[in-house]
Amino acid sequence: HRSSELDGIQDILDEIAAAMASRTDRGKAAGYIPELACVDTGQFAIAVAGVDGQVFCGGDVGTPFSIQSVSKVFTLTLALGKLGDTIWSRVGREPSGNAFNSIMQLEHEKGRPRNPFINAGAITVADLILAGHAPREAIGEIIRFVRFLADDETIAIDEKVARSELDHGDRNASLAHFMRSFGRLDNPVDHVLGVYFHHCALAMTCRQLAVSGLYLAAGGMNPMTGTRVISAERARRINALMLTCGHYDGSGEFAYRVGLPGKSGVGGAILAVAPGKAAIAVWSPGLDPVGNSKLGAEALEMLAQRTGWSVFGA
């Protein structure tokens, strides 16, 4: 028996999974992407990956789900690795206080999105990763990067979800065209959206997602493989952006209740980071009115209470 931050964590996860199974008010699955609208909201899963390499799970851990906007953490990391801090001339670092797919601020800020986690910002990051290549190559690069993070070659894109987003992507298309009208996108809109919809449609389990986020908890290293993903300084800064912008206009509430850097997606996943301790993935498809997983946030609130992991103190 080794003593660590994760002592007793399995009991806590079992307790959380049991508490979540009995909740009746579970939120609604994302309605605007038909392929997500039909996912059963009765499901819940949680996984905690410790910086010492141990992984603990609870709930429906075998079920892959659409990671959606959680993928924006990985594309931001990839873009920073390729282009460095020059990306900040194209996208800001301030919370938006608006819905994830809002177009309003883009006019005032002449096509420069407030942060890389709202849709407009992530579309800009997709444009940067694309950099004149064919969409297929950029999508391949993103998949390879996420497989490297998860140390799992089986991770794939759910083509049905990607197709469903494309078929119902008028809002994202309008964001992209609007930015391009300010000269803010280098690549054709259909190429950029192809990359964006495909990375949003990555399918993963909670275990895979928690392991993929471990570099953010471990100073930029992946402790499972012993490889450096990014510098400690970059990991710290991505965590800061997740804390301030990771839940859109619900970011303040998430910081208040959970107190961890976190990134949500409309598939119902949240990736949270307890720096120096663990990466946590939760999934439950029912969303709150802002578009963040309802039970996911509740589960993380319970976990933070039980463990004292909030970055603001126990």
Annotated binding-site ranges: 69, 119, 165, 172, 196, 248, 266
Q: Catalytic residue at 72? A: yes
Q: Catalytic residue at 32? A: no
Angle at 48 between CA 43 and CA 49, to 5 degrees: 135
- Sites for ligand GLN among residues 179-238 (CB under 6 A): 200
| 100 in contact with ligand GLN (CB under 6 A) | yes
- Tell me the residue nearest to ligand GLN as measured from the CB: 69
Q: Please give the backbone phi and psi of residue 230, each rounded to the nearest 5 degrees, phi first.
A: -145, 170
Measured CA to CA in angstroms, residue 293 lies from 59, 132, 167, 285, 289 at distances of: 15, 35, 24, 6, 9
- Pick the catalytic residue from 39, 48, 55, 69: 69
- For the bound state, the minimum distance from the C-beta of residue 142 to ligand GLN, rounded and expressed in Å, comes to 14
Close Cβ partners of 74 (under 8 Å, ≥ 6 residues apart): 142, 145, 146, 149, 199, 212
- For the bound state, the minimum distance from the C-beta of residue 93 to ligand GLN, rounded and expressed in Å, comes to 18
- For the bound state, the minimum distance from the C-beta of residue 81 to ligand GLN, rounded and expressed in Å, comes to 22
Q: Catalytic residue at 256? A: no
CA–CA gap between residue 74 and residue 275 (Å, rounded): 17
For residues 118 and 274, which CB has a smaller minimum distance to ligand GLN in the complex? 118
CA–CA gap between residue 91 and residue 79 (Å, rounded): 12
Binding residues for substrate, by number, are 69, 119, 165, 172, 196, 248, 266
For residues 115 and 119, which CB has a smaller minimum distance to ligand GLN in the complex? 119
Q: Catalytic residue at 293? A: no
Q: Catalytic residue at 311? A: no
Q: Which of 50, 213, 291, 296 binds ligand GLN (CB under 6 A)?
A: 291
- Pick the catalytic residue from 189, 196, 251, 273: 196
Residues that bind ligand GLN (rule: CB under 6 A) add up to a total of: 11
CA–CA gap between residue 183 and residue 278 (Å, rounded): 41
- Pick the catalytic residue from 215, 248, 264, 294: 248
Place of tokens 């802002």: 290
Close Cβ partners of 64 (under 8 Å, ≥ 6 residues apart): 158, 203, 204, 205, 208
- Sites for ligand GLN among residues 60-79 (CB under 6 A): 68-69
Angle at 258 between CA 4 and CA 54, to 5 degrees: 25
Q: Please give the backbone phi and psi of residue 80, each rounded to the nearest 5 degrees, phi first.
A: -65, -40
Catalytic amino acids? 69, 72, 196, 248, 266
Residues that bind ligand GLN (CB under 6 A): 68-69, 100-101, 119, 165, 172, 200, 265-266, 291
